[in-house]
Structure 1
Amino acid sequence: MWGAAIPPSPWGDGARRADEGRFPAFAQLVEELADIGVDEKGVNIRNKLSRGKFSAAFMLACLEAIGTDNLHL
């Protein structure tokens, strides 16, 4: 089980599309996060999103920073 590969998921693929311009630029996201009191560097954000693994708290902070009012699951 420990050595098993994690299958790709649409959630991770969505996070990886940040490089394709579907989400705000990393520099802009850094500024928006700073405005709400979250201190993150652009390289850290890029790494989190490219890995597709980050905390729910970080996701909620990003959603608030980019002005998301509603989230439909």
Structure 2
Amino acid sequence: MAAKADPATQAYETKAKNLLKGELKRRGVTYAQLAEKLAAIGVKETDRNLNNKISRGGFTAAFLIQCLEVIGCKTLHLDAD
């Protein structure tokens, strides 16, 4: 299991955070709107909690997929750094 302080783990958390932020920005979705969309599928988060969670980048794969689905993201492109 990778430790939180592991640079490789941190690099992927940053990548996940940037990926999600980019998709939100591309679609013009605010954290408040994301909170509403997540609530519609039973995920209760405030816009403030979303801001904190996404800024940290240490969220689960399930949370990432939930967010991407509710904003209508059907495909992702993972560009090599």
With the length of structure 1 as denominator, give the TM-score of the two structures.
0.69
Instruction: Show the counterpart of 2:42.
Output: 37
Q: Give structure 1 stretches of 5+ with no counterpart.
A: none
Of 7, 14, 30, the match for 1:25:
30
Three-state SS of the structure 1 residue aligned to 2:25 is coil
Instruction: Show the counterpart of 1:11.
Output: 15
CA pair 5-43 structure 1, distance change in 2 beyond 3 A? same
Aligned-residue identity in percent: 43
1:61 deviates by: 0.5
Alignment partner of 1:48 is 2:44: no
Q: RMSD over aligned Cα, in angstroms?
A: 2.8
Kept in 2: contact 1:33–1:40 (CA 8 A): yes
Higher helix share: 2
1:50 deviates by: 0.8
Q: Partners in 2 of 1:55 and 1:5 — Cα distance?
A: 17
1:69 deviates by: 1.6
Q: Give structure 2 stretches of 5+ with no counterpart.
A: none
CA pair 5-47 structure 1, distance change in 2 beyond 3 A? same
Kept in 1: contact 2:53–2:59 (CA 8 A): yes
Q: Partners in 2 of 1:48 and 1:30 — Cα distance?
A: 12
